[in-house]
Structure 1
Amino acid sequence: MLDLAEELRHWLEEGREFAVATVVAVGGSAPRGPGAALAVDGTGTVIGSVSGGCVEGAVYDLCREALRTGRSVLERFGYSDEDAFAVGLTCGGTIDVLVAPVTGESPLRTVLGPALSAVAQGEPAALARVVRGPAELLGRALLVRSDGTPEGVLGAHPDLDRAAAAATRALLESGRTGTVDVSASGAERRSPRTGSGQGSHCPGGLTLLVESNVPPPRMIVFGAVDFASALARAGKFLGYHVTVCDARPVFATPDRFPDADEVVVDWPHRYLGRTATDARTVLCVLTHDAKFDVPLLKTALRMPVAFVGAMGSRRTHEDRNRRLRSEGVTERELSRLRSPIGLDLGARTPEETALSITAEIVAARRGGTGVPLTGRKTPIHHESREDGRPAVA
C-alpha cells in the first residue's frame, strides 16, 4: 500500500473515504508481490493495481463492498481449470488480497496518516497490518519507526502487540516487505515474497503484513567511464540511489553523469571506506586499472554488501585476482567477486553492457539463473534470501 503513498495522502487530506486492497501473499507465479495495492474511493475512482489486470474487476467490487459494510475481508484469487468463468490469475499462481476500509471509524485511518507522512518525508518506517487472526482484528494496523517506537495498537493481548512491534522493526531494519507470524512468546519471520511459513494464527497468534519504507538501495559505480553513464541511467531505472566515484576530477563531473544522484571525486577505496553501505548496496567497479581496483576490491570484498562486480577481460580478471591474493585477500573473499561483471548477452555498446550488468544484479538479488526461460519447467519467480544475496547459486 505504501507504493500509493502520495495519492492516498492527498485523499486523506481531502477527507475522502476509501478502501485499500493489498496483496499480502502470493503462491506460484503472480504478476505482483506483497505490498502491491489498489484503492477505490467513494466516487469509484481507482488508483494502483494488484495483479496487472487479471482480477482488478473483482477486487474493485470488494473495495466497494468494504466501503458499504465497513468490514475488512481477506480473499484468495487463483486459477481454476474446472471453472472457466472463475476470477483468477491466468499465470497459474494465487494471491491473497486484504481489502480494508479507510473511513472515519476505521482503526486503520488513524495510523495511515502518520505512515503516509513518514513516506513523504523519506523517514524509515514500517506499517504492520493484521492479515490473519480474529475477525475483529483483521486490517488493524501498527506503525513502527526506525527507533522502534510503535504508534497505534492492534488490540490484541499486550504481549502480542509487543511481539508485533519487535517483528515489524526487524523487517524494517532489513528493508523488507513481507508477512510474519507473531505470538505472545515471540515472532517468526516468514518469506518476504510468498508469505509461507509456520506459526499460529488464532487464537494465540497473528499473521502480519509488514510494509517497510526505507531509503532506496545504493549503487556505487567506480570509474567515470562511458559505461558508467549508461549504468547510472539503468541503476536509476531500477530504483537505486546512484553514486559515481572517480579520483580524476576532469572525468568525474555532474555534466558527464546527469542520471547519477551524486558524483564524487575521491580515491575509490578511500571513499568506500567512509561512505554508508548496507546489505542492499551494490558495488560496480568499472575502472579495470590495478592501482584503483586492488585497494578498492580488497576493501569491498570484506564488506557485508549485496553485490561486488568488476569489469575487465578474463586476462585482467586473472591478474587482478593474483594481485588481490598477494594483498591477503582470501579465496572465500574472492569467491564473492563477480568478474567479469555482467551476464553473457553478447553486449557491445555501453547501454547493452549496462543491461548485462543490471541483469546480473537482479539475478543475484532474486535468485535467478540468468538462463532463458524458454523450454524450462522451473519456477519463473525465485525466493530471495533475507540478506539480499541469491537463494539459488
Structure 2
Amino acid sequence: MNGFVELARAAAGARQERPGVPLALATLVRVDGSSYRQPGARLLVDAEGRILAGAISGGCLEGDVATRAAGVCATGRAIRLRYDLRADLETIWGFGAACDGVAHLLLEPLTDWRWMAQAEAIRGRRHGGAVVTMLDADGGGATAALLDGPAQSGRWHLWHESARSVGEAGLHALAATAQHTAQASLHPVPEQAMAFVEPLVAPIALHLVGAGRGAEAFAHFAALLGWHVTVLDHRPALLSALSLPRGVQTRPVRHLDAVPASLAELPHDGRTAVALLSHVYDVDLAWLMRTLTLPLGYIGVLGSRRRAAQLVEAAEAALAALGTPLTARQRHKLHAPIGLDLGGESPASIALSAIAEIEAVMHARPGGFLRERQSPIHTRTPTPQLRERDGAPTPGNGLLGGALDVPPRCDVTDRSAD
C-alpha cells in the first residue's frame, strides 16, 4: 500500500518518453481470502500493455490487467475486475497460481498522475491524510479525493466529481476511520456507491546514531523498504566517508548537549525508530536517555547483552534522578540488544536482523516463523456487511448511508462490455 513515489516517477517518465500513449491505473480495492497484496496495492500500465510500476499480486494478474488497459484508455471509462484465484488458472491464462483468494480491482484511465506525487508529499509531512476512491453503481469508479492533514482539520483536494456525493462531513468521517485503524477499507455511501478509503500512513523514519560500518548496511536495507533514513554522528569525517543510498541524509551532532535539539528537528513520532550504533558508551547513553522520553515506536541498542543492560540501568537511574522514572511503555519500545535472533554475525547480518525487528514492531507482529502462525498471515481490512437484495437488513459498519439495497458491484467479473 502507498507506493506512490514509485508510481508517480514512473508516470512522469512515461509521459516524457511516450507522451501520446495513455496510462491506466489498477487499484486493489478488496480481497476475499488469501492474497499476496492487500487493498491499496496499485499497478501502473499503459495503453500498449506495458507494466510500468507497482504490483497487485504475486505476478499472476499483472499481465492480464495490462492487456485491458487499451480498452479503458480508449473509452475513457473505468471498469471493475474480479479475479478468483481459487480456480485453476492454467485453463484461463496458461499458468496455475495455486492461490486461495478473490481479488477485486478498479482499472481506471489515468489522465492526471499528479495526485500520486501529492499523496507522497502528504505522507512525507507526517501529519495524516487519506485517499478516497469511489466505486459507482455502474461498475466503474475513479480516484476521487485526497486529504492533506488530520481527518477533522485537513484540506480536501477533489479529483473527481463523484466525491461530492459523499459531502464534506461524510469524507471527514471516512477519513477518521481510516486514520484511526491505519487500514484501507470499503464503505457504502449514497447513490448505491462504495468508497474505498485508505490512510496516508507516514513512512518509517529511521535515525541511525553512529557512522560505523554497520550504518551503511542498516541504511541500504531501510532504503529498500522506502524508509526515511538519517545517519547522525559526532565525527563528521566518518559521516562523509559513508557510502549511502540515494536519499539517505547525514547530520553531524558534535556535542552531547546538542542531542535534544537534533531530535527536535527530526521526526519523533510513533512511526520513528532509533538505532544506537555508535559503540561509544557516553554517546549511546545520551541518546538513549533522550529518546526514551519521546513517543517513538522503537529504540534499539547495538551491542552485547551485558553492555545493553549497563546502558539501560544507567539511563533508568539518570531518568529517576530527574524525576521521570522509566515507565512500562518506555521499556516496551526498548530493544536491547537490537535485532531478531537470526544467528548472523557480520555487519550485514546484524543490520538485517535489526531492520526485520523494526519492521515487525511497526506492524505489531512477533517476528516468528510464518509456518507457526495460527492466525491469517495478512491482516484483513473489514468489509461492510450489506443488505441482501431480497432479505432483511444486516448490520453494516459503513459510516455513510447505512446498508445498501444491492451488493456492491465490485462483485461483478468485468463490466467493460456494458
TM range (shorter): 0.7 to 0.9
Aligned 1:18-57 pairs, distance under 5 A: 18-48=23-53, 49-57=55-63
Structure-2 residue corresponding to 1:176? none
> Does structure 1 retain, via aligned residues, the 8 Å contact 2:206–2:227?
yes
Distance in 1, matches of 2:61 and 2:9, equals: 24
Distance in 2, matches of 1:231 and 1:50, equals: 28
CA deviation map 1:118-177 (0-9, x unaligned): 47989769673434344387215224445833333643585723146536xxxxxxxxxx
> Does structure 2 retain, via aligned residues, the 8 Å contact 1:190–1:196?
no
Structure-2 residue corresponding to 1:242? 229
1:92 aligns with 2:100: yes
Alpha-carbon distance change, 162 to 205 in structure 1, aligned in 2, over 3 angstroms: farther
CA deviation map 1:101-123 (0-9, x unaligned): 23xxxxxx3xx344255479897
Distance in 2, matches of 1:188 and 1:284, equals: 30
Alpha-carbon distance change, 242 to 339 in structure 1, aligned in 2, over 3 angstroms: same
Equivalent residue for 1:255, pick from 241, 258, 278: 241
* TM-score normalised by L of structure 1: 0.76
CA-CA distance at 1:59 after TM superposition: 1.7
Equivalent residue for 1:330, pick from 326, 331, 352: 326
Structure-2 residue corresponding to 1:115? 115
CA deviation map 1:253-281 (0-9, x unaligned): 31135444214233463354332213322
Structure-1 residue corresponding to 2:289? 298
* TM-score normalised by L of structure 2: 0.72
1:264 aligns with 2:260: no
Distance in 2, matches of 1:32 and 1:83, equals: 18
Q: 3-state SS of the aligned residue for 2:241?
A: coil
CA-CA distance at 1:331 after TM superposition: 3.4
Q: Which amino acid aligns with 2:260?
A: R
Alpha-carbon distance change, 79 to 190 in structure 1, aligned in 2, over 3 angstroms: farther
Alpha-carbon distance change, 51 to 81 in structure 1, aligned in 2, over 3 angstroms: closer
Aligned 1:200-279 pairs, distance under 5 A: 200-203=188-191, 206-210=194-198, 212=200, 216-250=203-237, 252-259=238-245, 260-267=248-255, 269-277=259-267, 278-279=269-270
Alpha-carbon distance change, 114 to 165 in structure 1, aligned in 2, over 3 angstroms: farther
Consecutive unaligned residues of structure 1, counting only runs of 5 or more, are 103-108, 168-180, 385-393
Q: 3-state SS of the aligned residue for 2:296?
A: coil
CA-CA distance at 1:72 after TM superposition: 1.7
Q: Which moved more, 1:326-335 or 1:374-383?
A: 374-383
Equivalent residue for 1:362, pick from 359, 362, 371: 359
Distance in 2, matches of 1:164 and 1:89, equals: 39
CA deviation map 1:299-350 (0-9, x unaligned): 2122122211112222222222222221223231222201110001112111
Distance in 1, matches of 2:295 and 2:309, equals: 24
Q: Which moved more, 1:217-226 or 1:334-343?
A: 217-226
Alignment RMSD (CA, Å)? 3.6
Higher RCO by CA contacts (8 Å cutoff, separation 6 or greater): 2
CA-CA distance at 1:248 after TM superposition: 3.5
Q: Which amino acid aligns with 1:319?
A: Q
Distance in 1, matches of 2:185 and 2:244, equals: 42
Structure-1 residue corresponding to 2:80? 74
Distance in 2, matches of 1:75 and 1:208, equals: 15
1:148 aligns with 2:193: no
> Does structure 2 retain, via aligned residues, the 8 Å contact 1:9–1:117?
no
Distance in 1, matches of 2:228 and 2:358, equals: 14
Alpha-carbon distance change, 113 to 313 in structure 1, aligned in 2, over 3 angstroms: closer
> Does structure 2 retain, via aligned residues, the 8 Å contact 1:222–1:286?
yes
Q: 3-state SS of the aligned residue for 1:364?
A: helix
CA-CA distance at 1:284 after TM superposition: 0.3
Q: Which amino acid aligns with 1:262?
A: T
Alpha-carbon distance change, 131 to 52 in structure 1, aligned in 2, over 3 angstroms: farther
> Does structure 2 retain, via aligned residues, the 8 Å contact 1:30–1:51?
yes
Distance in 1, matches of 2:370 and 2:163, equals: 48
Aligned 1:99-138 pairs, distance under 5 A: 99-102=107-110, 109=111, 112-116=112-116, 118=118, 128-135=131-138, 138=141
